[in-house]
Every structure is written in structure tokens, then in C-alpha cells.
Amino acid sequence: MKNRKKLYEGKAKILYKGPEANTLIQYFKDDATAFNNKKKAQIPGKGVLNNFISELIMTRLKDINIPTHFIKRINMREQLIKKLEIIPIEVVVRNIATGSLVKRLGIKDGKILSRPIIEFYLKDDKLNDPLVSEEHILVFDWASHHELEEIISLSSRINDFLTGYFFSLNIRLIDFKLEFGRFWKNDETSVILADEISPDNCRLWDLKTNKKLDKDRFRQDLGDVDKAYKEVAYRLGVLSENEFKKVIKNDL
């Protein structure tokens, strides 16, 4: 790993050059950040859990023909992924009002939306990832009309699928954030799901108690962040308590 070329370091992940030209290695860190990096901490084992959780979800999405950048998990913290040109838009899908939606518009926290809302944010830390409209995306060429249609259609399918999937595990999928990229093949591009899907970028509430099982535990200082992520991993069946303990002992 030491000789590998680091191409990009984000808040929670690092991208290294992959073994082939059109691949990358995605490394999951234990770093947690919130409020655009203003709040920071290390959550031991978070990277391992997110690697396994995201692997499972990306694999399930592939099973229903959602194109994703995930190729395979390499080890406890790394995945081989397709190299994409990232579209600079964060797509947020909401089923229940909470978070910034509630703050911005004064909607009642926990209100079940009459249908899912898809929002777009410009990926730009310096500007604090501002909310943008479809018009902004098209006029400023962040994505083409065809790409935007594809992004909306994929996001909606992903939401329908994941809502049911988590529901079967007694978890309510409140909202989540997706990122997409362009994959180049023979001078043509297609839109592919990128990044990760994990408790870092989803809001997951226990169906019966509404207990938060996601990064809001860190954002809101609710404690037991690692326990919540483990709970999600166990419910998804990706990592047993014993396996996780072994990993953490040898890995850190």
C-alpha cells in the first residue's frame, strides 16, 4: 500500500491508482466529519463497517441492474472500483422530512412526504455545497439533459429498492445522498453510481423506536456512533460481532 499512488483524499475516503487504467482503489478511513469539516473525529472501525455495508448494497443494486462503480472488495478497508469522471452534484433523496429540509423550510421534523423529493447540491466545499436547481445544472453544464434524466431515474429506482430492503430489516430509510460519475467506453459515456452507500450518507431509523442508526449520532452528539453502524452491519448480515472484533484487533 505504501508504494501506491494517492490520487485524491476526501473526508472519509482515499482514492489510489488502480491496477488497470480504468480502475481505482477506494480506501475507507475511520475519519468522521460533519458541517463541512468543522466537526471531526475518528470512529475506530467505521471504515471497515462502511466498506462491508457499501459492498453489500452496491452488489444488491447491481442485481437489479443499477450500474455502479463497484467491482470487488479487496480487503477490510479497500474496494476495486471503476474510474469515473465524477459529476459535481450530490443527489439527496428524501422520504421523511428531517435535517436541512426541516431547518430551511420549517417543515415538521419526521413528516412523511407524500412522495419522495430529489434535491441537488453542488459539490463544492468552498461554497458549502449549495442547493441548486435542474436549471443550474443544465445551464452551467454540470450534467447534460440526458445525464440528468438518467440520474433522476436511477435515484428513484435506488430509493424504491433500498426503502423496501431496509424495511425488511426493521429500518426506515429516511433520506440519503448519492453521487454519480461518467464512465467512458469507446468515446461514449454512461452514468454510473459512484461513492458509497453507508450510514455515513443515509439516515436510518429503527422502525419501531425511531432510534438513529447513522451519522446523525455523530452530528448531534448522541453517542454510540460505532454501535449504531455495527447494528446496521449486523442487520444486513455483512459482519458478525466476532468477525468485526477480529478485524479491529489486527487492522488498526
Shortest distance, CB of residue 174 to ligand TMP, whole angstroms? 7
Q: By rule CB under 6 A, what string of x and - marks binding of each residue 145-184 to ligand TMP?
A: ------------------------------xxx-------
Among 203, 212, 217, 230, contact with ligand TMP (rule: CB under 6 A):
203
Cell numbers representing residue 138 in the block: 443544465
Segment 94-123, which members bind ligand TMP (CB under 6 A)? 99-101
Shortest distance, CB of residue 113 to ligand TMP, whole angstroms? 13
The Cα–Cα gap between 196 and 26 comes to 10
The Cα–Cα gap between 151 and 161 comes to 15
Residue 202 pairs with which residues in a beta bridge?
A: 176
CA distances in angstroms from 84 to 53, 59, 190, 228, listed in the order given: 21, 18, 10, 31
Shortest distance, CB of residue 200 to ligand TMP, whole angstroms? 6
99: left (phi over 0), alpha (psi -120 to 50) or beta: left
Cell numbers representing residue 113 in the block: 412526504
Shortest distance, CB of residue 4 to ligand TMP, whole angstroms? 26
Among 202, 232, 238, 247, contact with ligand TMP (rule: CB under 6 A):
202
Interface contacts to ligand TMP, rule CB under 6 A: 92, 99-101, 129, 175-177, 201-203
